[in-house]
Amino acid sequence: MKDFFYPASVAVVGVSEDPANLGRGIVANLIEFNYQGKFFLVGPRGGTLFGLPIYTSLQALPQKVDLAVILAPARVVASLVAQCGELGITRVVVESAGFSELSEAGKVLEAEILAALQKYGMRLVGPNGIGLMNLELGLAVPFSQMRPRPPLGSVSIISQSGGVGMHLLAWLTQEGLGLNKFLSLGNKLNVAENEALAYFLEDPGTSGVYVYLEGLSDGRGLMEAARGATKPIFLHMPNAGPETAAIAHSHSASLAADDKVLDAACRQAGIMRVTSQRDFLSAAKLLNQPPVRGNRLVALSRTGGQAVVIADSARRWGFHLAPISPRLAERIQARSRAGVIAPINPIDLGDVFDFTVYNDIMEELCRDPEVDAILFNYGPLAEFEVEAAREMARQAVEQARRGNKPLAVTVLATLKEEDFFRETLKVPVFHFPGEAIEALAMSRRFTEMRQTRTPVTGPLLFERERVAALLAQAPGPGFLPLPLALKIIEALGISPADWATAATPEEAAAAALRLGLPVCLKLSSPALIHKTEVGGVLLDLKEPEEVKAGFAQLAQVARSALPPGAPWEVVVMSQVDSGLEILLGATRDPSFGPVLAFGAGGIATEVLGDVSLKVAPVDEPEARGMMADTRLGQILAGNRGQSAADLPALARALAALSQLMTEFPQVKEVDLNPVKAFPGEGGILALDARIRVEEG
Amino acid sequence: MKDFFYPASVAVVGVSEDPANLGRGIVANLIEFNYQGKFFLVGPRGGTLFGLPIYTSLQALPQKVDLAVILAPARVVASLVAQCGELGITRVVVESAGFSELSEAGKVLEAEILAALQKYGMRLVGPNGIGLMNLELGLAVPFSQMRPRPPLGSVSIISQSGGVGMHLLAWLTQEGLGLNKFLSLGNKLNVAENEALAYFLEDPGTSGVYVYLEGLSDGRGLMEAARGATKPIFLHMPNAGPETAAIAHSHSASLAADDKVLDAACRQAGIMRVTSQRDFLSAAKLLNQPPVRGNRLVALSRTGGQAVVIADSARRWGFHLAPISPRLAERIQARSRAGVIAPINPIDLGDVFDFTVYNDIMEELCRDPEVDAILFNYGPLAEFEVEAAREMARQAVEQARRGNKPLAVTVLATLKEEDFFRETLKVPVFHFPGEAIEALAMSRRFTEMRQTRTPVTGPLLFERERVAALLAQAPGPGFLPLPLALKIIEALGISPADWATAATPEEAAAAALRLGLPVCLKLSSPALIHKTEVGGVLLDLKEPEEVKAGFAQLAQVARSALPPGAPWEVVVMSQVDSGLEILLGATRDPSFGPVLAFGAGGIATEVLGDVSLKVAPVDEPEARGMMADTRLGQILAGNRGQSAADLPALARALAALSQLMTEFPQVKEVDLNPVKAFPGEGGILALDARIRVEEG
């Protein structure tokens, strides 16, 4: 990737003298940004532009270039790429549109380009993007213009959409944050997000990365690229609702991942997900500050009202505004010339007009190991204070820097003082205290996420051969018959409630007496997915006669609800009324592979939405974490003096399901709902098991 | 209130020649804002300021003034107020601090001021605030300076904190929104929020009101002032967590309301609660647009990427981006000169460079009754387009105005175009599409809230005398004995599970046999609030011997857990295992009075937090609404083919509790948890009842 961002020479291909030619925008940017290398213009009609000659072909260039940027009609791009290959140009950016995002014919054109890349061992960014930028050397090849020119900063951007990336860049410029590098992915024909991300995480000029995606090329790869990163990654990926997915597809040929799985994967990989550019813009203001390592915040406020707003936001974002410690209060008193300052936090300095007191307090706070972050609500209230206030602000910024304390600045009422911070002190400013605290919380979250553990791949929790043999009995792709599914989960070490199969009313009644009444009856058939909805489940049958009648009723349901000749049988199962209903499940996500689920089961699953997901592998400690993330998990752990349920058994079951998914790719989906757990008692019991396989 | 905002003459009291005198800020503002009336300066040391004479006393003024603004030491304020009264000045603003917010002595000073107000029939704003503004006539009396001067707009502000109000004002100015009127409440000694709000809701210059409060003077009064308002009210009241409450108190002597009750009250009264100034700032950008009446949004976007972001936000905020109707698509095609535009929404115009097409589409959208709001993502991508794009934008704004369609504008990448909208077209701009959609959603929410019904005060659902007689049996203040509480709820028409009292093990066993086994036993004593925690509840006793042993066990608990001599008894109750656990409750909020609660009961109450609140009166239809607001309510209404529970009985029970609270002020709290309801069956059964009274 580095060769894309540090070329010593560039050819811009597709330039003409026509004022509506889009390629001229690229040339204008290279001039405006003062690109440090050499660049050449290429266009079949020749001529000159901005006083520079337009060469009529790549072959006519006076030297070999490191990078070619192509903005020519889609149909000629493959040929141009091949020409680059012949000339030994290994890095190409294609900004032209009209490929797979538009039509089937466009897909063919992409295939031709891919063939050329392979033949010559080249790499390509695009097509259907706006290229890339590296402000360290004034490299800027988007065709659209950027005014004012962004200053050099330490934020880098990877954006699937040129428009979204450019809009963010305009705001990074407005906020004084600037840019380091920019990559517009476009259709991701060759270079995709994971490779780019891995490069930016290594790049010394980048302190944080914003990634805008409309689809994932490889979710697992993204997790691997991110894991262990020492720089924060902010992922902005619009939610894949059906409407959004359709628009995203027509826009950039993307496949959107399930939103909740993506959330889970981000948490596991230490990626911060943002839902708006505004959120990232706030977070970016702290990128050049030390990370926030805890939740102890001290705020200095020029007015009491803002202090209340600060306290409210702090509570909302999980910060603790601990009262100033007596030791610190004493030191502040000793050093302050203004007499009594109440030892409350936020420290209200509304009545303090001697600004050296602020610096005395800052000095103490910066030295205090019990302070994790400082919020500084700055504001001269009148013209005559401005000069002294600015000197104080300058010192405060320097004090925090020396003390290595995260410092967030807001300005009170006098917005022109924001310009002073941004332009003179080169410190980004938050517009409202709440935004500052939200950004501090994101920084703290990044610290916390750095500490997440990696699941351990331990020994198998079940006998592999036994499970394999059972899976081999699958009659075909689709849902397994219930008895087989129950045998498989037994083999995994997850107990179902006592059960038996029955082929006649009499067998059912006999089984019920053996298992102990009351029982429930379940109609099982691979052709029947939602047995409850068609009346295929009968609960709480208390007498043998009821069981016989129930069997007859299910036989009737089988005849009316199943296709003629479809096999069916009846499972008799002990009725379990007590206990709490739990969902344990596993699916395969197209981007992330196996995903485990834990949550409230039974009829509550959909209504409560109290479900926690994790991308496999999930070992037992990870499973405990999943449970703790749900409200049900808190109930199971014992609440209000209630007893705890068998959490180890639940964790083991989740870990076993994770191993099942990893070991047996043919298993597509497992849904155990409900599983019952019993506060104050050991053990769990699965009352239902749905397993879907792809191949027998 | 109007007399405060439209004075023909003003006296500024407390002015001196000293450059550090705060009163000079007031004078500077009156000059800077070009106050249309006459104003006079008063200060005991006399002299001149800004070329104006400083009169040495109020008595020395050449004429009677309509309004006096006082910024003098706290100790002399009462005397100055009295002097105003003697001179017939009926409106006074006090900006001085040092009153109840500071000390007990300050409270005494406030009492003296109050006495003067009463004596002379005067009204007062403050103290400890920054006064008021009315930009219609250049009236601006805060002592702090505002630069640049806000333009005249239609937003009005009521702020308990001067600093918070001023900071918002700076941003309203920055965003081109301006201000109509401003009121800083300070300590609310005389004029408080409700009166001010009622005035602003009548004021022709005001189209929407932002209210910042740290405490409520009278919550019911706020609801009454707001109900029926035709202008949106935005309440920003920081959450009353314990930390915030302490700071708010030290800042402005406020008592904070319970946050969830406040939320409920706002919903009922049609007040929009905002949690940040940023949220209000977004909402304010639509104040001069027609209200959004439905969820059908059409977006016009200059880039595909922003279209995806727009679709994501639309989904998040409950808007439906319906595909363009065939009729509309046809018309657009007929009028557009650019050939094919895909009939998807957001309408992606990235490849359309002829801006008259935008106006053709706008024309159709503005005429379409099935479009509730339009989001316009505007952006010239290059210099040569700017002029044509601006002309198009000008027309689009005019088209929306003529068509009476809500229009939200965002600018793409080229932020200087934001200035064009704000400054030339006088149209506020959203910085990101998500903010525009959030604001559209708030406008829609305002429309919805206008349609809320008022609960009907129907006939009593119970026999008043019977309940009164039972309440009269209360042994004293505190929790009623369980048997009495159960009788009261029976009298309200809410059935408890079958129960009886027992004084001996034998009586308990006999009662159990009469009620039917299994039963549970509950120890009842006014001295015992949390009976479960001390082991005072025994469940699922199946045999008479178990019941006897249980009684003995509870007697032991009574001996160990209760104070010596405290009366106790045992309630025997039928064990009810089936059904869903529900919480029905009522409390009294210090600001809002009786509040009803409905939610998930049993051990889930605290963990799920699935509770809906409403301020009384709650009639049966309102109660149905409360239930529908919870996840439990959705389960009870029948979910995934399950049967519904007895919703009418639950609604009736809530309405009866509401009447109980309204009729009997001595009832402070009712907590029925759990009440059981039975999907598919009629009826509800209360398994516990806690009622707290203040006086017997």
Determine the Cα–Cα distance for residues B571 and B562; give it in Å rounded to an integer: 17
The per-residue pLDDT for B336 is 62
Higher pLDDT pick, B609 / B645: B645
Least CB–CB distance from A144: residue in B305, B307, B382: B382
Residue of chain B with shortest Cα separation from A350:
B163
Contact between chains at B166 and A306 (C-beta distance less than 8 A): no
User: Which amino acid type is present at position B194?
Assistant: N
pLDDT, mean of residues A657-682? 94
The per-residue pLDDT for A215 is 86
Contact between chains at B241 and A164 (C-beta distance less than 8 A): no
> Which strands form A181-184's sheet, in the order they lie side by side?
A139-140, A132-134, A181-184, A155-159, A208-212, A233-236, A272-273
State how far residue A435 is from chain B, nearest Cα, in angstroms: 9
pLDDT, mean of residues A234-240? 85
pLDDT, mean of residues A512-537? 84
pLDDT, mean of residues B224-239? 90
Share of chain A above pLDDT 90, in %: 68
Q: Which of B674, B469, B485, B446 is nearest to B580 (CA)?
A: B674
ipTM, two decimals, is 0.87
- Strand segments (E) across A629-689: 667-677, 684-686
For residue A577, what pLDDT band results from cuts at 50, 70 and 90? Answer: confident
The per-residue pLDDT for A254 is 43
Contact between chains at B251 and A346 (C-beta distance less than 8 A): no
Burial label for A451, CB within 10 Å (0-12, 13-18, 19+), is exposed
Q: Which of B623, B676, B686 is nearest to B645 (CA)?
A: B676
> Could you give phi then psi for residue B10, rounded to 5 degrees?
-135, 140
Write out B236-256 in H/E/C secondary structure.
ECCCCCHHHHHHHHHHHCCCC
Of the ranges A5-14, B129-138, B260-269, which one carries the lowest mean pLDDT score? B260-269
The per-residue pLDDT for A204 is 97
Contact between chains at A305 and B212 (C-beta distance less than 8 A): yes
Contact between chains at B306 and A161 (C-beta distance less than 8 A): yes
Contact between chains at B311 and A247 (C-beta distance less than 8 A): yes
Q: With beta carbons under 8 A apart, name residues in chain B contacting A20.
A: 384
pLDDT in tens, A616-640: 999 999 999 999 999 889 888 886 5
For residue B121, what pLDDT band results from cuts at 50, 70 and 90? Answer: very high
Least CB–CB distance from A311: residue in B166, B243, B434: B243
pLDDT of B171 higher than 80: yes
Contact between chains at B278 and A432 (C-beta distance less than 8 A): yes
State how far residue B496 is from chain A, nearest Cα, in angstroms: 23
Give the mutation candidate from A273, A279, A312 for the B interface (greatest B CB count, under 10 A): A312
State how far residue A413 is from chain B, nearest Cα, in angstroms: 4
User: Which amino acid type is present at position A266?
Assistant: C
Chain B residues 16-45 with a CB less than 8 Å from chain A: 19-20, 25
Q: With beta carbons under 8 A apart, name residues in chain A contacting B165.
A: 305
pLDDT, mean of residues B250-256? 45
pLDDT, mean of residues B126-140? 96
State how far residue A62 is from chain B, nearest Cα, in angstroms: 31
pLDDT in tens, B86-113: 999 999 999 999 898 888 899 999 999 9
Task: Check CB contact of A530 with chain B, cutoff 8 Å.
Answer: no
Burial label for B136, CB within 10 Å (0-12, 13-18, 19+), is middle
Of the ranges A14-23, B403-412, B509-518, B526-535, which one carries the lowest mean pLDDT score? B526-535
pLDDT of A611 higher than 60: yes
Contact between chains at B162 and A311 (C-beta distance less than 8 A): no
Give the mutation candidate from B102, B243, B410, B629 for the A interface (greatest A CB count, under 10 A): B243
Of the ranges A5-9, B226-230, B581-585, which one carries the lowest mean pLDDT score? B226-230
Contact between chains at B382 and A145 (C-beta distance less than 8 A): yes
Size of interface A-B (CB pairs under 8 A): 246
DSSP, residue by residue, B633-676 = HHHHT--TTPPP--HHHHHHHHHHHHHHHHH-TTEEEEEEEEEE
pLDDT in tens, A254-301: 444 578 899 999 999 999 999 999 999 999 999 999 999 999 999 998
> Which strands form B499-502's sheet, in the order they lie side by side?
B499-502, B569-574, B519-524, B537-541
Interacting residues of A638 by C-beta distance below 8 A, sequence separation 6+: A644, A679
Determine the Cα–Cα distance for residues A442 and A286; give it in Å rounded to an integer: 9
pLDDT of A134 higher than 60: yes
Task: Check CB contact of A255 with chain B, cutoff 8 Å.
Answer: no
pLDDT of A444 higher than 90: yes
The per-residue pLDDT for B639 is 67
Least CB–CB distance from A305: residue in B164, B169, B415: B164
Cβ distance B13 to B49 under 8 Å? no
The per-residue pLDDT for A404 is 95
Least CB–CB distance from B161: residue in A169, A303, A316: A303
Contact between chains at B278 and A315 (C-beta distance less than 8 A): no
pLDDT of A336 higher than 70: no
Chain A residues 272-291 with a CB less than 8 Å from chain B: 275-278
Contact between chains at A607 and B635 (C-beta distance less than 8 A): yes
Share of chain B above pLDDT 90, in %: 68
Give the mutation candidate from A95, A309, A678 for the B interface (greatest B CB count, under 10 A): A309
For chain B, the average pLDDT equals 90
Contact between chains at B251 and A305 (C-beta distance less than 8 A): yes
Tell me the three state secondary structure of residue B471: helix
For residue B254, what pLDDT band results from cuts at 50, 70 and 90? Answer: very low
Residue of chain B with shortest Cα separation from A236:
B309
Contact between chains at A145 and B608 (C-beta distance less than 8 A): no
Task: Give the pTM.
Answer: 0.89
For residue B241, what pLDDT band results from cuts at 50, 70 and 90? Answer: low
The per-residue pLDDT for A27 is 97
pLDDT in tens, A30-60: 999 999 999 999 999 999 999 999 999 999 9
Chain A residues 624-653 with a CB less than 8 Å from chain B: 631, 634-635, 639-642
Contact between chains at B414 and A631 (C-beta distance less than 8 A): no
pLDDT, mean of residues B11-33? 94
The per-residue pLDDT for A249 is 52
Interacting residues of A325 by C-beta distance below 8 A, sequence separation 6+: A368, A370
Burial label for A255, CB within 10 Å (0-12, 13-18, 19+), is middle
Structure tokens at A21: 């030619």
Contact between chains at A413 and B163 (C-beta distance less than 8 A): yes
Least CB–CB distance from B247: residue in A308, A603, A634: A308
Residue of chain B with shortest Cα separation from A578:
B577
Interacting residues of A471 by C-beta distance below 8 A, sequence separation 6+: A488, A664, A666, A667, A693, A696
Task: Check CB contact of A529 with chain B, cutoff 8 Å.
Answer: no
Structure tokens at A168: 């963010």
The per-residue pLDDT for B335 is 66
pLDDT, mean of residues B223-232? 90
Determine the Cα–Cα distance for residues B530 and B520; give it in Å rounded to an integer: 16
The per-residue pLDDT for A640 is 57
Strand partners, B375: B299, B408
Of the ranges B64-78, B411-425, B661-675, which one carries the lowest mean pLDDT score? B411-425
pLDDT of B458 higher than 60: yes
Task: Check CB contact of B607 with chain A, cutoff 8 Å.
Answer: yes
Contact between chains at A533 and B641 (C-beta distance less than 8 A): yes
Chain A residues 294-333 with a CB less than 8 Å from chain B: 302-309, 311-316, 321
Cβ distance A355 to A392 under 8 Å? yes
Cβ distance B350 to B304 under 8 Å? yes
Task: Check CB contact of B242 with chain A, cutoff 8 Å.
Answer: no
Q: With beta carbons under 8 A apart, name residues in chain B contacting A412.
A: 163, 166-167
pLDDT in tens, B346-402: 887 776 777 888 888 899 899 989 899 999 998 877 777 888 889 999 999 999 999
Question: What is the DSSP-derived secondary structure letter of residue A143?
Answer: S
pLDDT in tens, B305-334: 788 899 999 999 999 988 887 877 777 777
State how far residue A403 is from chain B, nearest Cα, in angstroms: 27
Pairing of strands A407-411, A478-479: unpaired
Determine the Cα–Cα distance for residues A356 and A361; give it in Å rounded to an integer: 9
Q: With beta carbons under 8 A apart, name residues in chain A contacting B144.
A: 381-382, 413
pLDDT, mean of residues B196-211? 97
Contact between chains at A413 and B166 (C-beta distance less than 8 A): yes
For residue B227, what pLDDT band results from cuts at 50, 70 and 90? Answer: confident
Q: With beta carbons under 8 A apart, name residues in chain A contacting B214.
A: 305, 308
State how far residue A328 is from chain B, nearest Cα, in angstroms: 19
Determine the Cα–Cα distance for residues B573 and B498; give it in Å rounded to an integer: 6
- Strand segments (E) across B444-551: 478-479, 499-502, 519-524, 537-541
Distance, first Cα to last Cα, chain B = 44
| The most confident of A251-260, A446-455, B600-609, by mean pLDDT | A446-455
Q: With beta carbons under 8 A apart, name residues in chain A contacting B169.
A: 413
The per-residue pLDDT for B253 is 42
Ramachandran region of residue A320, left (φ > 0), alpha (ψ -120 to 50) or beta? beta
